[in-house]
Structure 1
Amino acid sequence: MNTPPSPSAAEPVDGSPVRLGALVPLTRPGWVEAGRHLLAGLDLAVREVNDAGGIGGRPLELLVRDTAADHERAAAAVDELAGLGVAAVVGEYHSVVARAAAARADVVGVPFLCSSAVLDALTEEPTEWVARLAPAQSRGWRIYADHLLASGRSRIAVATQPSVYWATGTRILREHLASRGGTVVELDTTALTPEALCDALVVHGATALLLLVGSPEPAVPIVRAVRGDRRLAELLIGAPAGQPEFAGWAEALGESGAGIPFLRYLPERLGPLGERVGKELGERLGEAPSFVAFEGWDTVTVLAAALRAHGTERAAVAGAWARVEAEGTRGPIRFSRTPGIGVWQWTWAPVQVVDRDPADPDRLRVLHVG
């Protein structure tokens, strides 16, 4: 349920900035690297919108709030930003945090365009206030499971931590693999040391271990333990949630962090727009931009298109999800209703399975395209 937009969301007449709230994990225990990339994409797109004349001559202004991967903090930030008169809220990387933000946005009647979170059930009930760019977890993780099977890996172990996101991922993998003759066993990292986890992998005869855990802890110690265990020399380590995407992974693990497939939401080749944006993002970040940075740029770009075409009043923005279309870095973006998903969804961002090349850990190899 939701309430009508507050008067603070009405169209101003004084040429003041169009305010956007941005939810970004910038401190621990949030995934800080992902937050930095997401914010770089959001910031760059805001600058480009303003350089092009803003929204009807009014500049965009980004009000950034650090969620630190805390769902209560995110919900409180939505309330605060709504009170500050934002036209919409954007961003967030962590699925559980984004779900809390989406629920609050629905209640207070403020549009929320989610950049990166993939949990299918982003809201408990269908809502008109929320849209999402990232592909649903069920889509990406099934593509990842297909890659495992194509690679001859069907006895899968998952190293897990308590979380609805990891639990949902485990269920998706188990259901998809079971229908194709595969098996999944769960190993609880809160009860097993990395060394005990290695013993369990041997006992179960696993052919792949998937890291459904946070990074750097406990993912990095687990990788080191498995790589150092001669009994597991043929075991594939995988990380569908994308832990190896960021430079900190390579810095922490070096060669040991290579050859670990993960999901990335980019096309095989970027077009001219993606190439141009990617170059500018790289200059801002001082390193190659992750897919998360592109998600940030695409978020502001498609929202700006909605604001220009339909106005900045909140109900008008939410009503634009069905009609807005924009050229993003990864292809044309438009939203639709998708069975099983209660928000407006871009169907679909491109999906790749990639890894860091063992011969050159700074280079990413595309292994599978969904």
Structure 2
Amino acid sequence: MKAARSDQQSAVRIGALVPLSRPGWVGAGRHLLAGLELAVSEVNAAGGVGGRPLELVVRDTAADPQRAAAAVEELAGLGVAALAGEYHSVVARAAAARADALGLPFLCSSAVLDALTEEPTGWVARLAPAQSHGWQTYAGFLLGSGHSRIAVAAEPSVYWASGARILRNHLAPRGGTVIELDARALTPAALCDQLVGSGATALLLLVGFPEPAASIVTSVRRDQRLAEILIGAPAGQPEFAEWSALLGDDGAGIPFLRYLPERLGPLGLRVGTALHERLGEAPSFVAFEGYDTVAVLADALRSHGTDRARLAASWPQVAVEGTRGRIRFSRTPGIGVWQWAWPPTQVVDRDPAAPDRFRVLHSA
């Protein structure tokens, strides 16, 4: 009897991959973890999973793919039922490869790279939209706003290269042009000089934050020759308070992608209030992604138990009311994992008249 009661009360463990130290985006990691933790606390307050509490086993990936792969190995050995989280696409891809090889279910919260796995797999599902979906939406916004000659300041990265390719493929058939500027080889001042002669009406930041993104924004804003140019950041950097704190008014009026509906429903509003209390600031869409991740996993664990194979096999049966809509997974052409197609997608900026307020410029 004692052994049975002890087993009933033993925690159901979920491994959480989160960037919590540099060079990872710590602000995004903090929001992602807040969402994961809030959902776990609510699941446990409601009785857990079959009477057993949920427990997060958190590992800091620090934006390092090798560190993430090692963490997946460790967490698999610790007996977690599933993996959750990760923000950085290249890191999530490494984690997904190890999870697939080990037969460990992985629900990716925030990473958007289309090729999250090299081959189709049943072990991995994703809440965030594929990069092609979001960035095509962003390209459509640019065209609709009268911008067809686009410069991109880019650093070498699979993620940035993929983004530039998506933009080019969407814009070219519609008369648009993408001009690539090497943000690693050019100083911000030299980049401004090239931008002046390019004829571009928009500059997109396909670079890391805080640097070189902050220096490029500052240089462009200070250059009177570029007073009319639109700066954009499709990867979503301006979503976070760190952006506004560092750049102030210079960081406003820079459109970015955000995965929230125009209006949250009752669940989203309640969770948003709780997340605000945890974070001490307005929650980003990444915090909602974290919450929804645990909501999906908890529902699957209640219905299918902790056996890893049964849990992974349940992705197509998921039907969970999340903070941003009803979550279901499907097989999407060109995407090798089970995909929520699609979360609500917006193009948003910080209002120049009130940088703490967001303006929705376009919705998909």
Using the alignment, how far apart are the partners of 1:254 and 1:35 within structure 2? 22
Q: State the match for 1:189 in structure 2.
A: 183
SS at match of 1:162: coil
Q: State the match for 1:303 in structure 2.
A: 297
Using the alignment, how far apart are the partners of 1:310 and 1:15 within structure 2? 18
Q: State the match for 1:72 in structure 2.
A: 66
Q: State the match for 1:5 in structure 2.
A: none
> What's the RMSD between the two structures over aligned residues?
0.7
Q: CA deviation at 1:343?
A: 0.3
Match of 1:61 among 52, 55, 58: 55
- TM-score, normalised to structure 1, is 0.96
Match of 1:261 among 226, 245, 255: 255
Match of 1:337 among 325, 331, 338: 331
Q: Is the counterpart of residue 137 in structure 1 residue 118 in structure 2?
A: no
Q: Is the counterpart of residue 41 in structure 1 residue 31 in structure 2?
A: no
Return the letter of the residue paired with 1:181: G
Q: Is the counterpart of residue 366 in structure 1 residue 360 in structure 2?
A: yes
% identity of equivalent residues: 77
Q: How does 1:123-272 map to 2 (within 5 A)?
A: 123-272=117-266
Residue deviations 1:116-150 (CA, integer Å, cap 9, x gap)? 00000000000010000000000000000010011
Q: State the match for 2:3 in structure 1.
A: none
Residue deviations 1:210-265 (CA, integer Å, cap 9, x gap)? 00001010000000000000100000000000010000111111111000000000
Q: Is the counterpart of residue 322 in structure 1 residue 316 in structure 2?
A: yes
SS at match of 1:148: helix
SS at match of 1:64: strand
Using the alignment, how far apart are the partners of 2:58 and 2:179 within structure 1? 40
Using the alignment, how far apart are the partners of 1:178 and 1:153 within structure 2? 12
SS at match of 2:290: helix
Q: CA deviation at 1:179?
A: 1.0
Q: State how many pairs are aligned.
A: 359
Gaps of 5+ in 2: 1-5
SS at match of 2:317: coil
Q: State the match for 2:281 in structure 1.
A: 287
SS at match of 1:366: strand
**Ranges of 4+ aligned residues in structure 1 off by more than 2 Å:** 12-15
Return the letter of the residue paired with 1:262: F
Using the alignment, how far apart are the partners of 1:316 and 1:304 within structure 2? 14
Return the letter of the residue paired with 2:146: G
Return the letter of the residue paired with 1:286: G
Q: State the match for 1:116 in structure 2.
A: 110
Residue deviations 1:161-203 (CA, integer Å, cap 9, x gap)? 1100000000000010001100001111110000000001011
- TM-score, normalised to structure 2, is 0.98
Gaps of 5+ in 1: 1-11
SS at match of 2:117: coil
Using the alignment, how far apart are the partners of 1:261 and 1:347 within structure 2? 23
Residue deviations 1:328-349 (CA, integer Å, cap 9, x gap)? 0000101110010000000110
Using the alignment, how far apart are the partners of 2:237 and 2:49 within structure 1? 36
Using the alignment, how far apart are the partners of 2:237 and 2:10 within structure 1? 40
Asked whether the 8 Å contact 2:8–2:51 carries over to 1, the reply is no
Asked whether the 8 Å contact 2:8–2:52 carries over to 1, the reply is no
Q: CA deviation at 1:15?
A: 3.1
SS at match of 2:185: coil
Q: CA deviation at 1:13?
A: 4.2
Using the alignment, how far apart are the partners of 2:247 and 2:10 within structure 1? 48
Using the alignment, how far apart are the partners of 2:182 and 2:237 within structure 1? 18
SS at match of 2:9: coil
Structure 1, 195-204 or 13-22: larger mean CA deviation: 13-22
Q: CA deviation at 1:325?
A: 1.3
Q: CA deviation at 1:324?
A: 1.6
